[in-house]
């Protein structure tokens, strides 16, 4: 049986905040059983995702300054629109320097208060990503804020900060492809939190197994 190919893309040291090397070991533990897993810090790999037979792209990039090239952006958009799956983790939304990527994710990062202890809850327990997972948990994390752009997004988790609930995870369709965004992931400790580990695995598994784009 041929395994699904999973490509994790991030940023090498010295990344501004989140080098892939800091969490690569934990991501390997989480994803190795789901398919043929590979990590890269070369954004040019985005130009050949179909050629490389990638089924799931996991984005942990740290590109807050600057943006992908036209060729890299075109490769990523072609992959997702053609039916590829993309799991964007925490700072992976930093590819938002390109409006095309913002359209894939359905939102853009606007800033965050200091990291603190946050309460998370499922707001769509019936969604396949959420089924069988803890409905609530608490962890230390950066409270990312987002502006949504009217895309077809479905928020599946929320976090509470100073008495207000904000989106923490959502799905979106783009062309024939599917995207899941998970807000946590600031440090390696995030990926060692039992509830978040389960969520990452569940999201990746659903993306690999799903046929539709919602």
pLDDT at 149: 85
Q: Which domains does the chain have, with CATH numbers?
A: 5-209 (3.40.50.880)
Going by C-alpha positions, the residue among 167, 135, 137 that lies closest to residue 154 is 167
**Total-model pTM:** 0.97
Q: Report percent pLDDT > 70 for the chain.
A: 96
Distance CA 176, CA 106 (A): 15
Q: Quote the distance between the C-alpha of residue 171 and its chain's center.
A: 10
Angle formed at CA 197 by CA 191 and CA 200, multiple of 5 degrees: 100
- Omega into 178 within 30° of 0, i.e. cis? no
Does the pLDDT of residue 211 top 90, yes or no? no
Q: How confident is the model at residue 210 (pLDDT cuts 50, 70, 90)?
A: confident
Token pair in block for residue 76: 């990523």
Helix, strand, coil fractions of the chain, as percent rounded to 5: 30, 35, 35
Condensed to tens digits (0 to 9), the pLDDT of residues 104-162 reads 999 999 999 999 999 999 999 999 999 999 999 999 999 999 999 876 899 999 999 99
Condensed to tens digits (0 to 9), the pLDDT of residues 11-40 reads 999 999 999 999 999 999 999 999 999 999
């Amino acid at each position: 049986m041929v395994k699904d190919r999973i490509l994790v893309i991030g940023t090498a040291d010295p990344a501004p905040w989140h080098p892939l090397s800091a969490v690569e070991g934990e991501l390997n533990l989480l994803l190795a059983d789901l398919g043929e897993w590979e990590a890269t810090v070369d954004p040019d790999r985005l130009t050949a995702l179909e050629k490389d037979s990638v089924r799931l792209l996991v984005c942990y990039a740290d590109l807050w300054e600057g943006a992908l090239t036209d060729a890299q952006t075109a490769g990523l958009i072609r992959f997702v629109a053609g039916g590829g799956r993309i799991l964007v983790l925490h700072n992976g939304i930093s590819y938002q320097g390109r409006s095309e990527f913002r359209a894939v994710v359905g939102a853009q990062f606007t800033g965050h208060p200091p990291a603190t202890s946050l309460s998370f809850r499922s707001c769509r327990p019936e969604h396949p990503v959420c089924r069988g997972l803890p409905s609530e948990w608490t962890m230390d994390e950066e409270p990312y804020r987002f502006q949504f752009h009217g895309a077809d997004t479905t928020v599946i988790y929320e976090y509470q900060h100073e008495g207000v609930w904000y989106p923490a995870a959502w799905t979106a369709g783009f062309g024939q492809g599917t995207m899941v965004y998970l807000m946590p992931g600031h440090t390696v400790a995030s990926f060692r939190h039992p509830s978040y580990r389960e969520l990452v695995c569940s999201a990746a598994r659903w993306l690999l197994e799903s046929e539709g784009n919602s």
